[in-house]
Homo-oligomer: A and B are copies of this chain.
């Protein structure tokens, strides 16, 4: 498997104005690099503005070469200006509830507040977008919860997994029918 290509979008009014330090974005980049050998291709920091966020996500997802993964950090809570999930829903074509459920399931022991996050996940083209919380601890604990299944998810999204778990049909001559797709 060639290395996963990722982009990281930090969503924070304060960071975008230079009033706070973005430690979450760099911490996610380090974790992806060290644990999954991911190439961090793109990073940015934007304020909590739905239109700006969805435009950035769409631009990255249609860039060449296309990133396999876009992580966002911030804007997933109930604060009045938190709109990262809405900006994500604006652009994704196929939703993914399970990834968010797995984060909450696994982070619950550390803090039940993981269930307050409104993060969404889904795909646009061949890119998987995942919303993570804004705090460094929340962001890295959430990503940690996905590390074991992320490579398989990306391989599948790339179309590199040919096995759909169904046994091959054999022709009447006994030869295996050729196929290269999956369902």
Interface residues of A (CB under 8 A from B): 11-15, 17-24, 47-48, 74-75, 77-83, 85-86, 93-102, 104-105, 108, 112-118, 123, 126, 128, 133-138, 148-149, 152-153, 156-157, 159, 161, 164-169, 177-179, 181-183
Using known A-B contacts A48-B183, A85-B94, A183-B15, determine if residue A23 contacts B157 with beta carbons closer than 8 Å: no
B98 contacts A166, C-beta separation under 8 Å: no
A-B CB proximity, top 3 nearest: A135-B165, A12-B183, A98-B115
Which residue of B is nearest A102, CB measured?
A: B115
Chain B residues positioned under 8 Å from A126 (CB to CB):
80
B168 contacts A19, C-beta separation under 8 Å: yes
Partner of A20, one of B94, B156, B164: B164
A157 contacts B79, C-beta separation under 8 Å: yes
CB A119 to nearest CB in B, in angstroms, measures 8
CB A156 to nearest CB in B, in angstroms, measures 4
A60 vs B137: C-alpha distance in the bound complex, in angstroms?
A: 37
CB A72 to nearest CB in B, in angstroms, measures 12
Chain B residues positioned under 8 Å from A97 (CB to CB):
97, 100, 118
A20 vs B180: C-alpha distance in the bound complex, in angstroms?
A: 12
A89 vs B27: C-alpha distance in the bound complex, in angstroms?
A: 36
A182 vs B12: C-alpha distance in the bound complex, in angstroms?
A: 8
